[in-house]
A and B are shown apart, each in its own frame.
Chain A
Amino acid sequence: MQLTVWTYEGPPHIGAMRVATAMRGLHYVLHAPQGDTYADLLFTMIERRDARPPVTYTTFQARDLGADTAEIFQSAAAAAYERFRPEAMIVGASCTAELIQDDPGGLAKALNLPIPVIPLELPAYQKKENWGASETFYRLVRALSGPAPASGTARERADGRRPLCNVLGPTALGFRHRDDLVEIKSLLDRLGIDVNVVAPLGASPSDLGRLAQADFNIVLYPEVARAAAQYLQKTFGQPMVETVPIGVRATIRFVEEVAVLAGVDPAAVLAGAPSRLPWYSRSVDSTYLTGKRVFIFGDATHALALARVAATEIGFKVVGLGTYTREFAREVRAEAEAHGIEALISDDYLDVEAAIQAAQPELVLGTQMERHIAKRLGVPCAVISAPIHVQDFPARHSPQMGFEGANVLFDTLVHPLMMGLEEHLIGMFREDSEFHADAAPSHLGAKPRPAPEPEPVTSITVTPAGPAPWAADAEKELKKIPFFVRGKARANTERFARERELALITVETLYDAKAHFGR
């Protein structure tokens, strides 16, 4: 058992629902107990969809347990076909149905429906949401993309048409998938490339039957679409682009890679200043952003991209990097190494909380779950990855990808921080009744925050031995350091004292440590 205060991903059948709801003409029959229909709300409320997800739940109850749950499943599947007449159907079990072992795949097959019925094996007690989405998409592509060409058939492009690609990965309930797609389609169009199929978002089962016609595949979200793209590469010889275009440099690299595969010239698309981020970041009022300590956590795609943007495009110092996506742990570890830190690979919220507390960042870039941690620690926070809630499905255009995505990122990352002038003045004058070191940034309109020095969290102790005690005047001197760097100053001073086995931390110790560590 794992104590889970917040979970970073839902169970795998939610991933399957994200694929089914993204598509058209596909129905999902899910063997699940009464109550699992809460998942509808993810789509109707959080994503504000205007139609019910194409999911039929068996919603069995205690009185149904026993012999007739299988029959309930079969009649639900038959009724769903009659009512919705989908082009294809996926069938599977939720975590509770997995325990009663009714074999939805076999039961659905026995119905002999005149459409493809694809069984999903999603082990709910081992795997999670993104894996479920990836597996579902892979199974659909495998079942519906058609037979492999005879061996030795070379891929050739029909004369006179523009290069053609598939865009794979966007789903329902994806973080900014709607707007990322707008950006990517516009880039492709300006490069002179046509889109064959976007999937799963907006695709029908018959669209999946046309996937093989494209010259190559673009994988926007590897967590969802890498497995399917690898299958297409193996089966139809379609190369794939896996560079995720989040951030200015990543977008440039993406455009160049796509251009090579399509055989087009990217110069026109890259000319001029396609994003405002570089200038905003170079303008002098961004100077104070230099070296601000940032902790980054999310799915692998967004965590990796944001680490690069934060370090090389905004000038922050990445002091923590992690992901809950174990499948991509290797990439995240390598990236963390480049920042001189060790990656945190965990889906345990309490581990993440402890790591953030230990790293003492001035900004947290994370998920909806890191908002809880940041609130507890009084640290500014911005959301860069799922899991997210309703406020991160905004009405306005807000991509993360492409050149406009970079503009959005600059605003998102800088907004929670205290503005430059205020930061300077608080460093100078500490006793103002309105603007003081413990106050929240005034542009956020918040009341002064109480300034708790957060007590250590959980069973994970960061320090092997207790720190030396603080002399009263040293403690008072520490209070003169602005709130957002005070935690770091305290940790550094205590470390300095421990390494030198000092019995008491004095004002001198505080300044010796400051000189030793620099900012």
Chain B
Amino acid sequence: MNAHVPLPTLDDGCGVSVRQERGQRAVFCGLTGIVWLHRKIQDAFFLVVGSRTCAHLIQSAAGVMIFAEPRFATAIMDERDLAGLADMNDELDRVVARLIERRPDIRLLFLVGSCPSEVIKLDLGRAAQRLSRRLSPEVRVLSYSGSGIETTFTQGEDACLAALVPEMPAASPDAAPSLLVVGALADVVEDQFARLFADLGIAPVRFLPARRAAEMPPVGPNTRYLLAQPFLTDTARALEEHGATRLAAPFPLGAEGTTRWLKAAADAWGVAPAHFDAVTAPGLKRARRALEPYRDLLRAKRIFFFPDSQLEIPLARFLSREMEAELVEVGTPYLHRGHLTDDMALLPRLTQVVEGQSLDDQMDRCRLAKPDLTVCGLGLANPLEAEGLTTKWSIELLFTPIQGYDQAGDLAELFARPLVRRTRLEV
């Protein structure tokens, strides 16, 4: 939920100034998470229950790829549904039956709520239970909301993973401690982390979401979890309801972030510092070497973040501490102070964090500040470029492997690339 208690401007104790802003917001709704989640969980299908707008959003985002077999669709509500002429639950059952007939390979079906379905209070939770009973054991049906009124962009992944938590097998109370890494990561990053944890002697290590529906990891009182993404508020809460404990850490972006993130797990497992250093030294060395050339490009560059994904604060921390960039303003759609404590503490004193958005006012501030690099969504990027500002489109940070040692250079390169491009083009 976006709703939270408004807070006045305050010094959070870590020298960062947090201001809240309300007004027009240029952000995606949570349905957008489907664009990457359908690739991560390979036998899942995402059925949005909504309007033509919802269908249009997803295909405008994903439809540039040509799908022989799409893994998402929309059950579009029409007049008859709204007028109560058709029983919506019967209609939904009919649509799901047609879908399953067409796609017998589906093992996990998500009913995804939208603004229209939430406003008319269609109970998708109950529908999912009913359909699960009907379609089991072949297909599990779950529901979550990706509506814009409740979720912003990456919060859609949060809602999806939170819906998966009750499906996770219960680990017995006397099971050995296990580590759970939470948040959809690129396959290559997941594999690297798995190797690092193995070398540190941390086991067993599992990832949420798993790549297939049947392989979701167990959770119980001896589960310790590391968030790999900063936008997993509800997922974390659901895991804790099942007895899991969060390991506090900054997020694994850049050499420093990755080291501190791994350290949180190593400390929990009592890994000897010397062993930790020995295991992480090669990766750390590679990351630092990879970052070197980009530091010269990004040093002292003034960077302005529009709110988008909640990755902004960890990214700002990486850019300021490891790339020596200056932060003009760090916008974030929502700030989970608990999960971001460690990242905020590492931000330079007096960094201006803005939670929420008033689009036109923020654009005015951005134009006035004339930053060297503006991190923003694709609705603003080309218009700002045309005004002479260099932009980095923020959505790419969700579609690119950026976590861990061996992606630190790639992460820096994403920010350096638009600056380099400016110097190359002579037309």
Contacts and interface: CB of A to CB of B under 8 A. Distances in A.
A34 B356 CA distance: 12
A7 B59 contact: yes
B379 A96 contact: no
B25 A37 contact: yes
A33 B26 CA distance: 11
Given A1-B81, A11-B53, A33-B115, A50 B150 contact: no
A37 B379 contact: yes
A372 B55 contact: no
Interface stretch (B92-100, B184-192, B244-252): B92-100
Contact of B98 (A3, A41, A64, A94): A3
Interface stretch (B200-208, B215-223, B380-388): B380-388
Contact of A95 (B24, B116, B380): B116
B1 interface: yes
B24 A56 contact: yes
Contact of B119 (A42, A45, A52, A96): A96
B60 A34 contact: no
Contacts of A368: 63
Contacts of B28: 35, 37-38
Interface string A389-427: 111000000000000000000000000000000000000
B150 A62 contact: yes
Interface stretch (A102-110, A124-132, A202-210): A124-132
Contacts of B61: 38, 41
A103 B150 CA distance: 23
B25 A34 contact: yes
A49 B382 contact: yes
Interface stretch (B66-74, B135-143, B342-350): B66-74
A10 B63 CA distance: 13
Contacts of B60: 10, 38, 41-42, 46
A78 to B, nearest CB: 13
Contacts of A2: 75-76, 78, 95
Nearest to B98: A3
Contacts of B69: 376
A1 B149 CA distance: 22
B379 A41 contact: yes
B335 interface: no
A61 B2 contact: yes
Nearest to A64: B149
A372 B63 CA distance: 9
B337 interface: no
A49 B380 CA distance: 10
B55 A4 contact: yes
A44 B81 contact: no
B8 to A, nearest CB: 18
Nearest to B357: A59
B52 A95 contact: yes
A113 to B, nearest CB: 18
B102 interface: yes
B426 interface: no
Contacts of A288: none
A125 B81 CA distance: 9
Interface in A3-21: 3-7, 9-11, 13-14
Contacts of A50: 382-383, 385-386
A6 B70 contact: yes
Nearest to A127: B52
A74 to B, nearest CB: 14
B149 A33 contact: yes
B281 to A, nearest CB: 43
Given A45-B382, A56-B24, A83 B360 contact: yes
Residue picked from B55, B86, B152, B381, most chain A C-beta under 10 Å: B55
Contacts of B95: 1-3
A375 B31 CA distance: 26
A48 B382 CA distance: 7
B19 to A, nearest CB: 18
A112 to B, nearest CB: 22
B378 A4 contact: no
A100 interface: yes
Contacts of B106: none
Given A1-B78, A1-B91, A42-B60, A36 B53 contact: yes
Contacts of B149: 33-34, 60-62, 64-65, 96
Nearest to B31: A35
Contacts of A99: 82, 116, 119-120
B382 A7 contact: no
A51 B148 CA distance: 24
B92 A1 contact: yes
Given A50-B385, A52-B383, A95-B52, A33 B29 contact: yes
Contact of A459 (B88, B98, B385): B98
A61 B53 contact: no
B51 interface: yes
Interface centre among A7, A40, A350 (most CB of B within 10 A): A7
Given A4-B75, A33-B148, A57 B382 contact: no
Contacts of B379: 37-38, 40-41, 44, 52
Interface of B: 1-3, 24-32, 49, 51-53, 55-57, 59-61, 63-64, 66-70, 73-79, 81-82, 86, 88, 91-92, 94-95, 98-99, 101-102, 115-116, 118-120, 147-150, 152, 360, 377-383, 385-386
22 contacts: A1-B49, A1-B77, A6-B59, A7-B74, A11-B52, A11-B56, A35-B30, A35-B148, A37-B27, A37-B28, A37-B379, A38-B28, A41-B377, A50-B385, A63-B2, A96-B119, A96-B148, A99-B119, A350-B102, A369-B63, A372-B66, A389-B64
